[in-house]
């Protein structure tokens, strides 16, 4: 069974390569569906396979960049990427990440920073999950009362009233707002991303929906576009620090290429609120796993995170295959009618 193990020349470890393909596939599926890089999923997985932690983070970063590229290409075919919004947000994200990183450096000078970061992370994950579930129940209770369009949290409507010039129209997202709104929001999410050391998709996706006013599908695509650029930057900086295993990146990307197609195409058949609800569940599990890690239940944390990945992955695959089968059946039926009109 030696052929199942691949030697990683830089990390100096032998790795079970089908495990790498499986991680790539799962993260590709989940990332393509939710519009995030998925650093919180890959790092523990790589660590379990045998990578030292620093290599797990660096390799994860490079893999995320490549994977987001594949997903962004697919999302852009659906018209899910608002490039103008993505580029404007990039300004705020870059400055924000730098401020967040400086904050970390300051805290590091004070001493042990890990615990502070973890609790801030838990707080924001709790906030996001509360927002997602509150929004979902608000929308479904409104829908039950009236047949009109169901709307949950609409903070973006208030924020759109700010008319500081220049006003910009985002064609794909379908709204007009002050340019400073996406810049400011992305600056805030950037600070948190830099502070927490993550790509930022986990925070940016809900911010795009609830504070900027993007439709869920556009939020997913636009966020992936941003993750792609920040991921490439992250890959470079980690490579300079010598913490990337290129062989593992390539093996994982091969799995991710297939997963990304499944995840992205599944958004076509999923309701926006369905995506948000699954996202909320993922965030809650991520939060519990961090709390477990803080209290040194490392195995339990890894089991929880990997179990969540597996289940959400199966849910997305089911959505994609059921939707695709139905579409192909309808297509065949329509072509039969066209061939044999009664």
Partner 1 sequence: MRKMMWVICAIMLLQMTAPAVIWAAGGGATEIVVVADTRVVNNAAERYFADLYNTDITMFAVWCTVLTAVYGCLLGFLMDFLMSKTGLDLKSRKIIEH
Which residue among 69, 125, 248, 301 contacts partner 1 (CB under 8 A)? 69
Q: Which is nearer to partner 1, 36 or 308 (CB)?
A: 36
Instruction: For residue 112, give the 3-state DSSP assignment.
Output: coil
Query: How many chain residues interact with partner 1 (CB under 8 A)?
Result: 65
- How many angstroms separate the Cα of 205 from the Cα of each of 164, 212, 251? 24, 10, 27
Q: Which residues, other chains included, contact 23 with Cβ-Cβ below 8 Å and sequence gap of 6+?
A: 41, 42, 45, 46, 49, 252, 255
Cβ 175 to partner 1 shortest distance, Å: 10
Cβ 229 to partner 1 shortest distance, Å: 10
Q: Which is nearer to partner 1, 119 or 137 (CB)?
A: 119
Report the distance separating Cα 283 and Cα 285, nearest Å: 5
Contact 152, 59 (CB under 8 A): no
Q: Which is nearer to partner 1, 4 or 240 (CB)?
A: 240
Which residue among 23, 56, 62, 198 contacts partner 1 (CB under 8 A)? 62
Report the distance separating Cα 236 and Cα 220, nearest Å: 24
DSSP 3-state percent helix, strand, coil across the chain (nearest 5):
80, 5, 20
Residues numbered 275-314 forming contacts with partner 1, rule: CB under 8 A: none
Stretch that binds partner 1, among 40-48, 71-79, 162-170, 180-188 (CB under 8 A): 71-79
Stretch that binds partner 1, among 181-189, 190-198, 304-312, 323-331 (CB under 8 A): 323-331
Which residue among 235, 248, 282, 286 contacts partner 1 (CB under 8 A)? 235
Q: Which is nearer to partner 1, 119 or 130 (CB)?
A: 119
Q: Which of 305, 314, 316 is nearest to 41 (CA)?
A: 305
Q: Which is nearer to partner 1, 198 or 209 (CB)?
A: 209
When asked if residue 50 is in the footprint of partner 1 (CB under 8 A), the reply is no
């Amino acid at each position: 069974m030696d052929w199942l193990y691949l030697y990683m020349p830089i990390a100096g470890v032998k790795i079970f390569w089908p495990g790498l393909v499986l991680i790539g596939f799962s993260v590709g599926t989940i990332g393509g569906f939710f519009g995030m890089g998925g650093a919180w999923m890959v790092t523990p997985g790589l660590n379990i396979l045998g990578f030292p932690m620093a290599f797990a983070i660096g390799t994860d970063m490079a893999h995320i960049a490549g994977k987001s590229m594949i997903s962004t290409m697919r999302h852009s075919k659906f018209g899910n990427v608002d490039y103008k919004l993505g580029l404007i947000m990039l300004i705020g994200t870059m400055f924000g990440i730098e401020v967040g990183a400086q904050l970390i450096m300051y805290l590091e000078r004070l001493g042990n920073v890990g615990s502070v970061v973890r609790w801030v992370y838990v707080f924001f994950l709790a906030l996001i999950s509360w927002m997602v579930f509150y929004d979902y129940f608000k929308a479904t209770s409104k829908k039950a009362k009236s047949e009109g369009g169901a709307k949950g949290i609409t903070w973006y409507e208030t924020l759109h009233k700010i008319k500081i010039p220049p006003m910009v129209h985002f064609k794909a997202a379908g709204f007009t707002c002050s340019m400073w709104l996406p810049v400011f929001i992305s600056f805030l999410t950037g600070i948190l991303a830099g502070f927490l050391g993550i790509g930022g998709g986990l925070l940016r996706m809900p911010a795009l929906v609830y504070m900027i006013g993007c439709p869920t599908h556009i939020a997913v695509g636009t966020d992936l576009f941003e993750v792609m650029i920040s991921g490439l930057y992250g890959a470079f900086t980690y490579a300079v620090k010598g913490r990337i295993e290129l062989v593992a990146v390539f093996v994982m990307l091969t799995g991710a290429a297939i997963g990304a197609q499944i995840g992205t195409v599944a958004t076509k058949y999923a309701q926006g609120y369905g995506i948000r609800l699954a996202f909320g569940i993922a965030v809650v599990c991520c939060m519990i796993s961090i709390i477990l890690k803080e209290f040194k239940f490392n195995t339990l944390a890894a089991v929880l995170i990997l179990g969540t990945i597996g289940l959400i992955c199966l849910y997305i695959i089911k959505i994609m295959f059921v939707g695709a089968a139905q579409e192909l059946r309808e297509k065949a039926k329509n072509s039969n009618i066209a061939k044999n009109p009664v």
